Amino acid sequence: MGKGAVTSGDVARLANVSQSAVSRTFTPGASVSQSTRDRVMKAAEELGYRPNALARAMISGQSKLIAMMFAYLENQFYPVLLERMSRELQAKGYHPLLFMTESGNQDDVVKQLLDYQVQGLVLASATLSSDLAVRCGDLGIPVVLLNRDIDDPVASSVTSDNFAGGKLVAEHFVKNGRRRVAYIAGAEDSSTNRDREAGLVVGLAAHGLALAGRFCANYRHDEARDAAARLMNGPERPDAIFVANDYMAFAVIDVIRSEFGLRVPEDVAVAGYDDVPEASWDAYQLTTVRQSTEDMTAHAVALLSDQIDGAFVRPQKVLLPATLIVRRSA
Amino acid sequence: MGKGAVTSGDVARLANVSQSAVSRTFTPGASVSQSTRDRVMKAAEELGYRPNALARAMISGQSKLIAMMFAYLENQFYPVLLERMSRELQAKGYHPLLFMTESGNQDDVVKQLLDYQVQGLVLASATLSSDLAVRCGDLGIPVVLLNRDIDDPVASSVTSDNFAGGKLVAEHFVKNGRRRVAYIAGAEDSSTNRDREAGLVVGLAAHGLALAGRFCANYRHDEARDAAARLMNGPERPDAIFVANDYMAFAVIDVIRSEFGLRVPEDVAVAGYDDVPEASWDAYQLTTVRQSTEDMTAHAVALLSDQIDGAFVRPQKVLLPATLIVRRSA
DNA sequence: CTGAAAGCGCTTACAG
DNA sequence: CTGAAAGCGCTTACAG
């Protein structure tokens, strides 16, 4: 590739050993005598040699490449997830190949990641097609869904207990005397959204309450603003709003304050989900449900590497605890 | 790799052609007759064949892999940059290999990206060592610095005109009657920070003003909070603060409002740099200097691919215009 | 246009 | 422990 392009053959010549000896020296656990190893290392150092990872991948069947698919990074939860996943994969000797994709080009993307012989696939984003996960799973590539789930057992998933989280929010609202609780949904077809909403509804029902309003904002900031305005202009103005994630909750708080001149939480309480870094900022002080990104990524990496190492490890569904973080907004 | 592992040989056998014919069919521009191509495509379809990108990379010397290095993604500017860069690289047939790194393990990371025969390196993050860029450049790998620059001509860079941007802020402050302007710096050794500060200082000097205060917050949110508190508690409380980026400016506004009970901009004006999405949110309405991520990433990708294609294209320093976006905070 | 053959840089049985 | 050899899946001159 580069001009240098030092190969194991070059090193072998300089060190006066066979090319195999060079290869063994760079293969952990291979049997090489100390003296051979020393000669090889000296020559390698001198020439600036490093094994070509592509050649190694081809012959060994271990590309050490993991595909990570995201739909968008504007929701602050995803960069946090992405950063953590990348660091942990690197620490385990894997390398993340990043794919940004939307519903349109997912077919192309599957082909590309297969071309690169990735050893695993991480799918993060509530809005990515589950079809994709199933296809890769069927091809024998370990798949982990982050922050979402599908019914198919071929893919592993790591989510927080979204149902429990939604319920926690309901109880918190009720305990604080809120009676007209509305919900702003993410995307209708996302498992995450479905479970959070179900938890909220069940939690309210336990106190004889029903949703006082509901709009779907598709996990988008601008649509969340619209939804909030509609809710506030509706016949029965809510005294509390649970928003499917923090990113949209910020938009809702902005609208309540700026467009309606009302106070949060005095006039309307707002709660989100995720506990992104911005949730603790003074401007919002958002009450929210925390899902630990540490635990999420740790489990995801463990699931992947277990499946990669042991051929017969089955996909698993991991459910992490959801914790209510009470701040000023509710 | 996978269980399937269909190779060009399998396809050749089924299609009754040579393995070379299969390879040519999948090589754009290679000469194959239409009838051969049809037979090959049919067989390939039937077997689910796709060329192994790793093998292709090895033989052709074109891995189509681009390394992208980031230090952290919590500053909202970087996810935007990362998302855009990834999409544009993909659109050009490249694949981003992501490396999250800090000062500590940069040596390892260089080795790893070299192992994978990446064809280019994108370095984003003011805090990454320039040494790394130089080393890769010397090895003949095109390097593009995003949102920062170094003196060494071996690396290309794309930045906005940080000096001009800083000056715009100074003029805006002065025009609005601010006389005690303070600065909160990013990292002392970052080119971006240096230029923004120099622009501010020169702009103030043109009106006979000097900095009314200055602290360094290392691009960190918590340190920016501390710096703001110090500034506000100082002997000469500023009536305007220019913060080296939006991410820290949010912290500064929070402190001014929550800790000191003061108003922005009535009591203290605050301006940032970047124009991240959050800057336009109602809670902050941050006046800031926009650097177009569209232009930035488009130039970065163009610089990379030009250097990859034409061996004799020289590295370039691209300076994009900086635009003042006036909102409520100043 | 087509096929046989060489070769990209490596790992890994196979003998010794 | 060590080297010669086969082979991973492909691209690309080389002849025809």
pTM > 0.95: yes or no: no
pLDDT at residue A232, rounded to an integer: 96
How far is B152 from B113, CA to CA, in rounded Å? 21
Facing residue for B58 by CB, picked from A58, A87, A116: A58
Report how far residue B110's alpha carbon sits from residue B44's, in angstroms, rounded to the nearest whole number.
38
pLDDT (tens, 9 = 90+) of chain B, 330 residues, equals: 334 589 999 999 999 999 999 999 999 888 899 999 999 999 999 999 999 999 999 999 999 999 999 999 999 999 999 999 999 999 999 999 999 988 777 788 888 999 999 999 999 977 777 788 888 888 889 999 999 988 888 999 999 999 999 999 999 999 999 999 999 999 998 999 999 999 999 999 999 999 999 999 999 999 999 999 999 999 889 999 999 999 999 999 999 999 999 999 999 999 999 999 999 999 999 999 999 999 999 999 999 999 998 867 889 999 999 999 999 999
Does B117 sit within 8 Å of A4, measured CB to CB?
Answer: no
Asked if residues B198 and B190 have their Cβ atoms less than 8 Å apart, the reply is: no
Q: Is B78 on the interface with A (CB under 8 A)?
A: yes
- Report the DSSP beta bridge partners of residue B122: B68, B144
The answer to whether A9 CB is within 7 Å of strand C is: yes
Contact flag, residue B60 CB and nucleic strand C, below 7 A: no
Chain B stretch 207-246, residues whose beta carbon is closer than 8 A to a beta carbon of chain A: 221
Residue A58 to residue B54, Cβ atoms within 8 A? yes
pLDDT in tens, chain A (330 residues): 334 589 999 999 999 999 999 999 999 888 899 999 999 999 999 999 999 999 999 999 999 999 999 999 999 999 999 999 999 999 999 999 999 988 777 788 888 999 999 999 999 977 777 788 888 888 889 999 999 988 888 999 999 999 999 999 999 999 999 999 999 999 998 999 999 999 999 999 999 999 999 999 999 999 999 999 999 999 889 999 999 999 999 999 999 999 999 999 999 999 999 999 999 999 999 999 999 999 999 999 999 999 998 867 889 999 999 999 999 999
pLDDT of residue A200: 98
A87, A111, A140 member nearest B2 (Cβ): A140
Alpha helices in A239-327 (DSSP H): 246-254, 293-309
Residue B26 tokens read as 């999948």
Q: In whole angstroms, give the CA distance from residue B301 to residue B304.
A: 5
CB atoms within 10 A of CB A28: 5
Residue nearest to nucleotide D3 (CA to C1'): A18
